[in-house]
Structure 1
Amino acid sequence: MERSADTAFFGHPRGLAYLAFTEVWEGFSYYGMQALLMLYMVGQLLRPGHFEHVAGLGQLRAGLESIGGPMTTIALASQIFGLYVGLVNTTPLLGGWLGDRVLGQTRTIVLGAVLMTLGHLSMTSERLFLLALLLLVLGAGFIKGNMAVQIGRLYGADDPRRTRGFGIYMLVRNIGALSAPLVCGTLGETLGWHYGFGVAAVAMVAALIIYLAGRRHLPPEPPVVRLSVAQAPLTRDDWRAILGLLLAFIPFVLMFSAVYQAYTLFPVWATDHVDRRAWGLTIPVTWIFTFDGIATMAGILAGVRLWRALDARGREPGDIGKIAIGCAMAATAFAILALGAATASGPVPLIWVLAFFVMLDFSFIWGEPPLKAFVSRHAPPAKATIMMSLAIMSIALANFTVGWLGRFYERMGAPEFWLLHAGIAVTGLVAALMLRPIIHKLVERRVTG
């Protein structure tokens, strides 16, 4: 397939703009929820007088404790958060199956947006908390993999803009991540948690409107392959490529098993152990995630510009090499946080936290976009959505790990806990460097340009 002549959106196809701005509002709802969820559970929902009113929560706690033993409130909140975010990144496998085999990608994405809207509305009721999480998990899963595949189809197989396109998509999405903590976080921490969740529902309605408005600028969908229709068997090269893609997930999972702890136990730790005084105010914890969004956008812009400059010289790293760099940056970020926690005689100065997020956020562009671009380039066409969904599901495995690691926070203490996560990211770096030649050998026969 030749390089698309459509360069209307900063040198990229116009459809990328509609998909990216759909994700602005989907990201707003998701990151608003992410900013509030741990604080909401620890600060209200899991406390006596509230816990008892949540349908099914007692049974969920009993089930979790039957597997891993008794849990404190913080450990239970961490486990629920990890399960929620993990399942958000597991259900894209179901969404991919619906997109490929049943509804088609567009209908599946629309259904996902409706379910997410209902989920955020349900969060306004304590009793419906678990139902709300289920609706959000299903809705996000129906959107993620299908939309990522639609981005990949905007580009030809040999179009060098593909990885940068995923980077731009991530950049625009982070407009929502930047604004959500300010809006949802401020409403939740000052007026009431349910106001923050309600605003997230409005954001999902906006996402759906933008997506439907831009559908005509997206490539035609391939025919839905019904279950009764026989498919051509995968070739030997197809299976080799699939194995190569699965190996590429390993360093990515290790990197994000560290990274996502910044959104799980970090806000709980920061509430009591970070000096949040600035400009004569004590800033809400959720406002730190606004800085996180700004730093992420800056990191994406810097990364895309660097890749473009290196590409002009023929020296741009491959996708697996980029993931290795991301692992190194994530390890450095957690080492900074561990050092700040270990050396502070009282509350940790805010400068340590800001330095942590700068390094962590600059790592994002080196992780997720390269993996998605690698999958969209090398996955067998008949399994494109499934493989993209598995790539997203690898984030689920990382989040399940994050939730489980939360059990050790109170036992280890903050410095050792953050240093543990630096070590996990270093392991990802070693895995990327060791597996890179094997992965390239497995997928090279599918390279068409």
Structure 2
Amino acid sequence: MTGSSGASGPDAGDAPNGRAESRPGGGDGPRVPGDRAFFGQPIGLMTLFTTELWERFSYYGMRAILLYYLTDTLANGGLALPQTTGLALVSIYGTSVYLLSVVGGWAADRLVGARRSTLYGGIVIASGHVSLSVPGVGFSAVGICLVAIGTGLLKPNVSSMVGELYARDDPRRDSGFSIFYMGINIGSLVAPILVGVARDWGGYHAGFAVAAVGMAVALVFFVAGRRYLGAAGSAVANPIRPEEHRTLVRNGLVILAAILVVLGVAALTTSTGGLDVFINTMSYLAFLAPITYLTVMYRSPRVTVAERGRVLAYVPLFVGAMLFWMIFEQAATTLSAFAQDRTDRHVLGIGVSPEFFQSVNPASIIVLAPLFAWIWARTHDRPPTAYKFAMGLALGALSFVFLAAASAVVGDGLAPAWVLIVVYVIQTLGELCLSPVGLAATTLLAPKAFRSQALAVWFLAESAGQAITAQLVKATEGASDTAYFGWIGAVTLVVALALWAVAPWVTRQIRRSDALEHAPIG
């Protein structure tokens, strides 16, 4: 599970009565009592911690049963979509969330601010879950779209408000984010289990109703606790100026035209029509967006020669991250299908639902994250970033190689539950190698003119990765699990070795850019 930080406000002062006070997000906001009231952190962190915990509960709870709902029979309350279509559609749902997160970040920066974007996003998400809880294909389609749109508005902005609770040099910042991430993982740990129980008891719509309750609780905590946030997230960082209106309209029309062209290409190249046209359109957009973004960065006149070197160095890291998320995010697709159809779901003699396995990753994060933090501290953040990316990608690849081998061993039988548990633990090890350093590398290597948009680039890696999955499951329809997981794991492992091979070049490129930037003029 990943998150992000934003800008920070001034240092907190001490009140005369001995209780710390702060102005989160900036010096213009109201003073907020209890600067250390939440485990030694600003009281505003409690608001954001609980909001994100319950929002992630709703998101991962809904995602845990989405594939099963789409592909189950009408008699069982599902939509009876073909398995391949369901797998591709869930992947494209993830693609859409991360593409829309870019829009949500822009809306917060330029239109409404992070706080209102979070509130509006939460309301839209809750409406989507309520719609999903009502039987009917139309309600389901509207619900899925609303959850994707709302998550795009909310996801990038809760994390940015956490950053605004701290001064840039506040030593509590890292521990504050650690507490915040714990909320993310608690929500994603509990959600699949409870939603799975609700599904077993009352069907899919009961499961979606539980997710709706989770999002409603998140909204209650956010609205009730907004007074503790001070000014965090209330300001519009870069409001649209009147002289920009014409340019924004022109750019909006260009983007709309590009989307229509991509839609036309998808329609012409897709023989089956319907959902497949939508899936292909979103896939093409997910591939084009990062190419366009990085090209604009590299060619912008506001980018220096030294910064262009960093952009080039970032490209291999982006490819590595994209392929890692391609594997990792299959937790909601192919691994969910494997849990339901190919796994003996008994853990220590106790029967578990297929949703249970999606709780293994957050549980592993909670256990292993402190260990990795200790390792990186003891090794002084060695090896360099590019090598960590290669290690993370290799671990992701090996998880699929392992699953392919297990599938070959059991043949037409059921794999023991520990096989999937090991797969998720291996992927968690890869996530801890790649994800924490990935966002830091993205923000550090981004040109100054694009620094506030760095998070968008990171989201595009996840978006493109899931778009690859959508295309893979369609292209490999009918392939055995051994072949599917084996070939993806083997090819990705080759890419990981290639990334390891170019890691020295990436490191030299970054150091050369740093030296060039700090070279004396004249």
TM-score between the two structures when normalised by the length of structure 1: 0.82
- Deviating more after overlay: 24-33 vs 325-334: 325-334
Matched, 1:93 2:102: yes
Who is 1:271 aligned against? 340
Query: Are residues 1:198 and 2:198 paired?
Result: no
CA distance in 2: counterparts of 1:304 and 1:447, whole angstroms? 30
CA deviation string 1:89-133 (max 9, x = no partner): 110111122111111121111111111011111112322211111
Residues 244 and 439, structure 1, Cα contact 8 Å, conserved in 2: yes
Q: For residue 118 of structure 1, what is the aligned residue in structure 2?
A: 127
Residue 507 (structure 2) pairs with residue 437 (structure 1)? yes
1:331 equivalenced with 2:397 (yes/no) = yes
- C-alpha change, 1:440 and 1:361, in structure 2 (3 Å) is same
| Matched residue type, 1:395 | E
Counterpart position of 2:252: none
Structure 1 counterpart of 2:472, which letter?
Answer: L
Q: Distance in 2 between matches of 1:4 and 1:321?
A: 35
- Is it true that 1:26 corresponds to 2:55 in the alignment? yes
How do residues 259-338 of structure 1 correspond to structure 2 at under 5 angstroms?
Answer: 259-310=328-379, 314-338=380-404
Instruction: Decide whether aligned partners of structure 1 residues 35 and 2 sit closer, same or farther in structure 2, where only a CA change above 3 A counts.
Output: closer
Amino acid corresponding to residue 341 of structure 2 in structure 1: D
Deviation at 1:185, TM superposition (A): 1.5
Aligned partner of 1:356 in structure 2 is 423
Aligned counterpart in structure 1 of residue 183 of structure 2, from 172, 183, 186: 172
Residue 142 in structure 1 maps to residue 153 in structure 2: yes
- Given residue 405 of structure 1, which amino acid in structure 2 is its aligned partner? L
Deviates more, 1:433-442 or 1:225-234: 225-234
**Counterpart amino acid of residue 229 in structure 2:** R
Aligned to 1:75: 84
User: Are 1:250 and 1:431, in contact at CA under 8 Å, matched by a contact in 2?
Assistant: no
Aligned to 1:234: 302
Change in Cα spacing, 1:157 to 1:446, as seen in structure 2 (3 Å) is farther
- Matched residues, percent identical? 25
Segment of structure 1 superposing worse, 265-274 or 365-374: 365-374
Measured in 1, the distance between the counterparts of 2:169 and 2:321 equals 24
Distance 1:210 1:443 in 2: 45
Q: Could you tell me which amino acid in structure 2 is paired with residue 369 of structure 1?
A: P
Call closer, same or farther: CA 1:247–1:444 in 2, change over 3 Å: farther
2:72 alignment partner, SS class: helix
- The answer on whether the counterparts of 1:166 and 1:372 sit within 8 Å (CA) in structure 2 is no
Distance in structure 2 (CA, Å) of the matches to 1:17 and 1:425: 40
Distance 1:164 1:317 in 2: 23
> Please, which moves more after superposition, 16-25 or 263-272?
16-25
Query: CA distance change for structure 1 residues 49 and 194 in 2, over 3 Å: closer, same or farther?
Result: closer
Distance 1:133 1:244, change over 3 A: farther
Deviation at 1:32, TM superposition (A): 0.5
Q: What is the deviation of 1:192? A: 0.8
Contact persistence 2:396–2:426 (CA under 8 A) = yes
Q: What is the letter of the counterpart of residue 292 of structure 1?
A: N
Taking the TM superposition and a 5 Å limit, the aligned residue runs for 1:16-55 are 16-44=45-73, 51=79
Residue pair 1:253, 1:397 contacting (<8 A) in 2 also: yes
Match for residue 210 of structure 1?
221
Task: Note closer, same or farther for the CA distance 1:242–1:209 as it changes in structure 2 (3 Å cut).
Answer: farther
Deviation of 1:16 after TM superposition, in Å, equals 4.7
Q: What code does the residue aligned with 1:77 have?
A: G
CA deviation digits over 1:4-38, x for unaligned, max 9?
67777667666555433322111111110111001
Change beyond 3 A, Cα 1:274–1:50: closer
Query: SS at 1:411's partner residue?
Result: coil
Whether contact under 8 Å (2:71, 2:79) holds in the other structure is no
1:404 is aligned to 471
Tell me which moved more, 369-378 or 339-348.
Answer: 369-378
- How many angstroms apart in 2 are the aligned matches of 1:445 and 1:18? 42
Letter in 2 for 1:297: I
Contact 2:331–2:358 (Cα < 8 Å) also in 1: no
Query: What is the alpha-carbon distance in structure 1 between the residues aligned to residue 39 and residue 443 of structure 2?
Result: 21
Q: CA deviation at 1:162?
A: 6.6
Tell me the amino acid that sits aligned with residue 305 of structure 1.
W
Distance 1:368 1:408, change over 3 A: same
Q: Distance in 1 between matches of 2:403 and 2:431?
A: 17
Provide Cα deviations, 1:164-213, integer angstroms capped at 9, x if missing partner: 76555433301011100111111113321011111111211222333341
Match of 2:488 in 1: 421
Unaligned runs of 5+ in 1: 53-71
Q: Deviations over 1:373-430 (max 9, x none)?
A: 2334454566444321231122111111112211255432111211223235424524
Structure 1: how far apart are the matches of 2:372 and 2:419? 23
Deviations 1:29-78 (A, max 9, x none): 11101110011111146x899759xxxxxxxxxxxxxxxxxxx8111101
Correspondences of 1:179-194 after superposition (within 5 Å): 179-194=190-205
More displaced 10-residue stretch of structure 1: 275-284 or 391-400: 275-284
Q: Write the distance in 2 (CA, Å) between the matches of 1:149 and 1:246.
A: 25
* CA RMSD across the alignment: 3.5
* More divergent stretch after superposition (91-100 vs 263-272): 263-272
User: Pick from 438, 450, 456: which aligns with 1:371?
Assistant: 438
Deviates more, 1:289-298 or 1:152-161: 152-161
Question: Cα–Cα, structure 1 residues 322 and 302, in superposed 2: closer, same or farther, change >3 Å?
Answer: same
TM-score using structure 2 length: 0.71
Which segment is superposed worse, 144-153 or 86-95?
144-153
- Equivalent residues of 2:98, 2:152 under 8 A apart: yes
8 Å contact 2:115–2:232 — kept in the other structure? no
1:25–1:48 distance in 2 versus 1, CA, 3 Å: closer
> Which secondary structure does the structure 2 equivalent of 1:224 belong to?
coil
Q: What is the alpha-carbon distance in structure 2 between the residues aligned to residue 129 and residue 29 of structure 1?
A: 16
Aligned-residue offset at 1:443 = 6.3
Work out the CA distance in 2 between the residues paired with 1:328 and 1:160. 33
Q: Alignment length, in residue pairs?
A: 425
Paired residues of 2:114 and 2:234 also in contact (CA < 8 A): no
